[in-house]
Amino acid sequence: MSSEFIKTKDGAEIFYKDWGPKEAQPIVFHHGWPLSSDDWDTQMLFFLANGYRVVAHDRRGHGRSSQIATGHDMDHYAADASAVAEFLDLKNAVHIGHSTGGGQVARYVAQYGQPQGRVAKAVLVSAVPPLMVKTENNPEGTPISVFDGFRSALAANRAEFFSAVASGPFYGFNRPDAKVSQAVIDNWWRQGMMGSALAHYEGIKAFSETDQTEDLKAITVPTLIMQGDDDQVVPYANAALKQIELVQNGTLKIYKGYSHGMLTVNADTINPDLLAFVRA
């Protein structure tokens, strides 16, 4: 087992974890904003126990990766993911992305992963593509004022903002019947505060304003699309329901009542579904 760093062409130091037998099929995890690879702890241990090689990295400016001043956009996110995959020589891998990480997976698979045989399958979990922000061509999107509000709140008091997100909409802990876990809230906050305020600030534009319609259309590998219908962060009608129309070989699973953070709070359901897709 190992956890190391690689250096990208533009000088970012990217932290990664690489656990399990090197000859086993790799499962590669891509985390959401503003978190780190630690958000995949449950899934990494689960797949490791099932005989897979598991890999995850901290996005530039997030977690333990360096707080570089530049490159906080989907192109660099995908290029960094490719750099990790090439350095570890990952082939026939299943790439699983959550939220912003789903956008990262879509761009990586579309631009880097398929021709070289590096990608066998893809999974988009509560993922941001094709486009979050409301535009003339995306009238059902989220108004830009919402994302401007995120930026203002982050700039004013990042610690307070992150606490509000984790204790409220992210896991659905603001719902009347929610079973609230303070430890889950604390762990989300811990991961967020490890990263760079600048990377998080500029990352809001990356996840909300990047049109990934063409990325989704370019994905030919089998793709599992998973989302909860009570996702308060990425509305599923503008995400999963559009993704399944754009990918060429997709399977859609909508989970009734599940939140944006279902990977953590509903891992007992999500993990076996992920494993079944990987094994299929």
Supply the residues annotated as catalytic: 99, 231, 260
DSSP 67-131: --SS--SHHHHHHHHHHHHHHTT--SEEEEEETHHHHHHHHHIIIIITTTT-EEEEEEES---S-
Give the whole-angstrom CA distance, residue 136 versus residue 152. Answer: 24
Nearest-CA neighbor of 225 among 214, 213, 216?
216
- Please give the Cα distance from 54 to 40 (Å, whole number): 10
* Structure token digits, residue 66: 């360096």
- Torsion sign over Cα 127, 80, 146, 151: positive
Peptide bond preceding 272 in cis form (omega within 30 of 0): no
What is the spatial distance between Cα 71 and Cα 10, in angstroms, rounded to a whole number?
A: 9
